[in-house]
Structure 1
Amino acid sequence: MEGDLKIALIGNPNSGKSTLFNILTGLNQKVGNFPGVTIDKKTGFCKLPDNRISQIIDLPGTYSLYPKSRDEVIVMEALADKKSAIHPDLIIFVADASNLKRNLLLYTQIADLKIPVIIALNMMDLAKRSGIEISSDALALKLGVQVVPISARNNDGISCLKQAILNSSKIPLQVDSIEVESLAPELIRKIQKELQVDLPYVALQLAHQHEQLSFLNADENKRISEIENEFAFHSQKTQATETIARYNFINDVLFDTISFKADAKLETISNRIDKVLTHKIFGFILFAVILFLIFQSIFAWSEYPMGLIEQLFVWLADTGNSLLPEGVLRSLLIDGVLAGLSGVLIFIPQIAILFAFISILEDTGYMSRVTFMMDKIMRKVGLNGKSVVPLIGGLACAVPAIMSARNIENWKDRMITIMVTPLVACSARLPIYTLLISLVVPSKSIWGFINLQGVALMSLYVFSIISAVVVAWVMKYILKSRERGYFIMELPVYRMPRWNNILLTMYEKVKTFVFEAGKVIIAISIILWVLASYGPGERFDTIEKKFESDLYTQKYTPAELDRLIASAKLENSYAGVLGKSIEPAIKPLGFDWKIGIALITSFAAREVFVGTMATIYSVDADDKHLESVRQKMQSARNPDTGLPVFTTAVAFSLMIFYAFAMQCMSTVAVVYRETKHWKWPTIQFVYMTGLAYVASFIVYQTLK
């Protein structure tokens, strides 16, 4: 689908830009990467009142066109490079009406790039309740652009905004805010002439940012540096002069367009809530209680839908066995594809619940408070408050969490954050934890409402965060840097969560999990089925002949013989040989060769562990024993001792192994992309695998 009009959404962080994007595009959106970088790019399509389709691009939030992170450079590259695939025909500038003065600094910079602009004056309801009155008509006259009052959270003013898009001019009509040429006249003229740049402000920005802009080649970069030296250009002084001039213009505009009432209840309410939620003692207690309730809910609310999904897959396998003729195809579809698929889909309820809670915490403004509270603690272990964003983001997925570490200006803080973020328990570990917990922790409640399985799950998540903090503290003394980090953050006012937004987030995250993780799991399940169904040489023929002898046929029933043959074939298959080869190394951890196969396959992605177990135990079983993967693992017995394979010691040893091990190729790849060197992902892989082995060994030897 291609849009007739390419529209970029630009605004400060917390201005409601993402909310507006979701309303304009609905479910018609996709997430990719900006060209040449690993930063998430959200694009979508919006139908206008005349039935035309416009493409909406959600650019990263920024306070200024002078970037402090790679995310913010993207904005300048998109707007300054006319050849860019994301260069817009129109900009919708999303401004927070309750904090208009600060927001307009970025607007005046964008306006000077001479791309048509509409101002979406968002959060008008909050501004009114805060005692702020804005004359949007007067503001429009002062700035020379359309100004549309909206409240994206309440879906107010969206139809007017769409109409404004239809009415927009292809020619930029905005008023100049400052005399750009006066800031560095000779330099601007020379850059314009030699690099054939149309606009004075683009020429000035090239002087400021040419080393960071990817669309400039080496010769252009060199020439700009020479021009800077020729005219003794001082970037910081020029920025300061420009900012003062812009605020003088903004003050004049706001003097005639904005008025204040004495009443400012909303801010007072937010401040009152903050006195409790960000208290140096009660704040942390409340955060712990919120985490406790989240993990209790994950188990309590997901039990019924997970049971239904389990029953569905047992029924599908039963139906497939009765309808399909016996042979390789049936085994592949049921023992390979269906078993692997069940390992993905069964955890949809838990993942949906986890992301719903994370989304609610973000939407209400509480997650920003957690970041603020953790700053002092983070600094003591060699991090800063901004490190909390990747660490909390790691609860969902380490890949975008590591990319978000770009916002940390200090090199040492950023490197330590990248190195420890994968230790935080991500959603890929959730299926492993919940499966193993359900095997060894009873589903009992203490005092009628504290579920033991929920307590076990929360303990693993808390353990992961403590581990990340301890490792960060150690790295603080290993990595050397003289840079000093700093932490600046705006706390948004508290708001009610937008349930449509929560549902959309749940849908997107579940879809990503099913399709991204699902593709990997099914592919590995098929490969595993092949490895588990065939063996080297004539081993399988030897097994068939062995069990055809009277010694076995007279002693066992046909059903028991089938299970013995299946088990012997699995042990002698390619997968069995692979598992047996690493069994001596993993036996001290309590793991057998079947678990060894899962450890190897889940190096691609942790969640593959569940699919591997489902496939291995499906190949090992016969058609008369159609059970869920949980039941198969529960009934698995050690052939030497006759005891259960998954004892409490083995299950917790496995959980601790996965808590530490770097078993995610995507994370390895993104760490390489972010650090531009294989040294850091190699160090990370080695230290995490070493920690996993030692911790797992200690847990197993202690509990066995």
Structure 2
Amino acid sequence: MRIALIGNPNSGKTSLFNQLTGLNQKVGNFPGVTVDRKSGFAQLTPVQRAEIVDLPGTYSLYPKSLDEKVITDLLYDRAAGNYPDFVVVTVDANNLRRSLLLFTQLGDLGLPAVLALNMMDVAERHGIRIDLPALERELGVPIIPMNARKGIGVAALKIVMAQRLDAAPERFWEPDEALLPLVRQIRYYFDLHNDYLALHYAQQYRHIGFLSDDDKAYLQELTHQYEFDATARQAAETIARYGRINDILLETVTVTRTETREPISNRIDKVLTHRIGGYLIFLSILFLLFQAIFAWAQYPMDWIDQGIAALSATIQENFDGPLVRLLTEGVLAGLGGVLIFIPQIALLFGFLAVLEETGYMARVTFLMDKLMRPFGLSGKSVVPMISGLACAVPAIMGARTIESWKDRMITIFVTPLMSCSARIPVYTVLVALVVPDQAAWGVFNLRGVTLMGLYLLGLFSALGSAWALKIVLKARERSYFIMEFPVYQWPRWKNVALTIYQKVQAFVMQAGKVIVAISVLLWVLATYGPGQKQETAEAQVRQQVAAQGWNEEETSRRVASARLENSYAGSFGRALEPAIRPLGYDWKIGIALLTSFAAREVFVGTISTIYSVGQDADMGTLQDKLRAEKDENGQPFFTPARAFSLLVFYVFAMQCMSTLAVTYRETKSWKWPVAQLVYMTGLAYVAALAVYQVLA
């Protein structure tokens, strides 16, 4: 059995989904589009399971954005393989009038439904009393009073869902007699089951994805023949529906008291959205986040790093051979490059989840709207850009909520400049190498200050690029920003924990597979070389040993370096070296730059593998190996100049194939991803060159 959850934004739909499915969730895409499709499984009874599909939040069945459009594509096509058996409509008991508009539209489509009356505790605090039996009679469906945050009512909802409903709600609105000839022709042509669905075909055929070009041409001709005015009809329908909803609520809802004091949410908003203080508070929260990523995550990261190093050393001490070196220098080195960043990834997404759960993130988007306007962006651009702190791929997909073509294109173009979580491994390794672990201004960790500076550099570059692109596009289209603020609430720690689990799992399973696979491939390329080049290079080093009288440790280091330089990987790096030498990079970093194009975080796995090949097992952690790396003059290789040059390169560089792919998918043109790649690579090269030349 397949059950769809549908409701207004902020109606508690996601909380209910988490209560029903727990950890049995998966995220994919709706067929044919790149909008996230969240689904999971709920155990309704000991012997009965159901698939739960969480649809995007919407206020009505007249979609205004591309993510809302997937709802109509799903619910208008009964022949679709993922068509739901029935729907659970979540409504806010504190705002029934608005919430019931969507419910009445679903009812008129003939969909079997259950009404999940959420936030009953909030309604009771506001003096709202709902006559549930009377409301059930008026709507014609079972109503389950709930508090989805606390799981109250979930068991009763499962019992109702297990009964496999097949009765549709009452009809709330019928098309006018004048529309029936048009409606009946559409019903006959498409073999539809009711008049209201046929009317939606007439109103929205241009945006219904599963209709063929011939179907759309037929509907266009038919609506033109009957002089059908979709906008006027939609307005008349909405007014009529609200009239019916008002009648229902007059009979079933009473308000026992009127609020005389200003709601506490409004009082908090005066502080958090203040035109000056609001920005300072937001910056302080970000500052706390970056401090936590370094200060709180350092201990578990050290334990993981030392554990991987100890395991690798133990294996090398007790076993020998090519397979052992493949395991320790390839698999374990790559695995260490994945596991060590789990604490930081967990902290980042935990913080973001808390901000979302409390309702503060919606205020941030409102607060940033005025800041974004001069740069050619709108407040709606803030949501994808903030999402870009996690990952650019879903962030670019999130730009589908922006109606303005100009705003949407600019947002897609500049979002990859926001430092995503994949850059955290690169940032933290390099910052820890050259920035002292000490307090700044007596309170703040200097490494945390540096990390926040890198994030702010990405933000300012995104805004500057947006401003420049606004001038290039020369679009005069005006846009607007409307957002509903959710009520402030304490975070649901179960949901926060679930978010952390899902994001860490995604990082380990998706990025981790790529990192480990590339690490193994790199080990092979770095261990073997063409012809006899490695043997020849080693013989030359041995001759120098005899002449110079080096000790065993120095001999071993130079032999390992010579073999690596003459391996397949070394040949690739040497070919790239002339282009990156002005930035202070050598052929080893060149290899890491190439491999990290698959995913930015692969950089760490690559250097972990490169600096593990041929090294003594007692060298210890990745940090130890990087600190021990020497340049041709015998000086430490990772100087502040090189490290900051690399950091700036990774702030700006477009080094993620997935981002380019999703940009192409969203823009339907190679022009935009190619322009992104050229612009961001050029910006990264010039900025890194300037940093190295100034600091060297």
Note whether the superposition's TM-score is higher than 0.5.
Answer: yes
1:345 match: 339
1:273 alignment partner, one of 246, 249, 268 = 268
Displacement of 1:577 = 1.3
1:130-158 deviation per Cα after TM superposition (whole angstroms, max 9, x unaligned): 23222222211110001111011111111
Shift of 1:626: 3.6
Aligned position for 1:93: 89
d(CA) in 2 for partners of 1:261, 1:278 = 32
Q: Which residue of 1 aligns with 2:686?
A: 694
Contact 2:112 2:165 in 1 (8 A): yes
Q: Deviations over 1:581-610 (max 9, x none)?
A: 121211111111111110111011100000
Larger CA deviation: 263-272 vs 349-358: 263-272
- 2:54 maps to 1:58: yes
1:214-235: per-residue Cα shift (whole Å, max 9, x none)?
Answer: 2212221111111111101111
Q: Matched residues in 2 for 1:671 and 1:130: separation?
A: 46
Taking the TM superposition and a 5 Å limit, the aligned residue runs for 1:87-236 are 87-172=83-168, 174-180=169-175, 182=177, 184-236=179-231
Code of the residue aligned with 2:586 in structure 1: it is D
Q: 2:412 aligns with which of 399, 402, 418?
A: 418
**1:652 aligned residue (644, 647, 658):** 644
**1:376-400 per-position Cα deviation (integer Å, ceiling 9, x unaligned):** 1111110100000000000000000
Give deviations 1:398-424, integer Å, cap 9, x for gaps.
000000100000000000000000000
Give the distance between the partners of 2:457 and 2:127, measured in 1 at CA: 45
Q: Alpha-carbon deviation of 1:620?
A: 4.3
Contact 1:553–1:561, Cα closer than 8 Å, also in 2? no
How many residue pairs match? The answer is 696
- Contact 2:360 / 2:488 at 8 angstroms: preserved in 1? yes
Shift of 1:166: 2.6
Where do 1:572-583 residues align within 5 Å?
572-583=566-577
**Displacement of 1:164:** 1.8
Deviations 1:310-339 (A, max 9, x none): 111011101221343x22211211111110
What is the Cα deviation at residue 271 of structure 1?
0.3
Please state whether the residue corresponding to 1:428 is helix, strand or coil.
helix
Task: Tell me the secondary structure at the aligned position of residue 619 of structure 1.
Answer: coil
**Unmatched segments (≥5 aa) in structure 1:** none
Contact map agreement 2:570 2:588 (CA 8 A) in 1: yes
* 1:409–1:554 CA distance, 2 compared to 1 (3 A): closer
Corresponding residue number in structure 2 for 1:634: 627
Question: Contact 2:545–2:555 at 8 Å: present in 1 too?
Answer: no
Q: 1 CA distance for matches of 2:677 and 2:571?
A: 25
For the aligned residues, what is the CA RMSD?
Answer: 1.5
Q: Which of the numbers 674, 690, 696 marks the counterpart of 2:666?
A: 674
Which whole-Å deviations, capped at 9, do the CAs of 1:188-207 have from their partners, x for residues lacking one?
11101122112111111111
Indicate the SS of the match to 1:531. Answer: helix
Please report how far the alpha carbon of residue 128 of structure 1 lies from its aligned counterpart in structure 2 after TM superposition. Answer: 1.6
Task: Please give the residue correspondences for 1:564-643 in structure 2 after superposition, counting only pairs within 5 Å.
Answer: 564-623=558-617, 625-638=618-631, 640-643=632-635
Are 1:129 and 1:264, in contact at CA under 8 Å, matched by a contact in 2?
no
Percent sequence identity over matched residues?
55
Contact 1:15 1:95 in 2 (8 A): yes
Distance 1:669 1:502 in 2: 30
Matching residue of 2:513: 519
SS in structure 1 opposite 2:53? strand
User: Post-superposition, which runs of at least 4 consecutive aligned residues in structure 1 deviate over 4 A?
Assistant: none
Amino acid of the structure 2 residue aligned with 1:330: V
* Partner Cα separation in structure 1 for residue 578 and residue 165 of structure 2: 72
- Does the Cα contact within 8 Å between 1:34 and 1:40 map onto a contact in 2? yes
Given that residues 535 and 563 in structure 2 are in contact (C-alpha distance below 8 angstroms), is that contact kept between their aligned partners in structure 1? no
Indicate which of 500, 507, 521 corresponds to 1:506: 500
Which deviates more, 22-31 or 48-57?
Answer: 48-57
Q: How much does 1:548 deviate?
A: 4.1
Which consecutive residues of structure 2, in runs of 5 or more, have no partner in the other structure?
none
Q: 1:528 to 1:550 in 2, by over 3 A?
A: closer
Which deviations, in whole Å up to 9, do the C-alpha atoms of 1:624-653 show, x marking residues without a partner?
x34211111111110x22221111111111
SS, match of residue 508 in structure 2: helix
Distance 1:147 1:404, change over 3 A: same
- How far apart in 2 are the matches of 1:349 and 1:467? 28
> 1:7·1:89 contact (CA, 8 Å) conserved in 2?
yes
Query: 3-state DSSP class of the match of 1:180?
Result: coil
Indicate the residue corresponding to 2:311 in structure 1.
316
1:298 is the counterpart of 2:296: no
Query: Take 1:594 and 1:384, find their aligned partners in 2: how far apart are those partners?
Result: 42
Partner of 1:399: 393
Inter-partner Cα distance in structure 1 for 2:588 and 2:162: 62
Aligned equivalent of 1:286 = 281
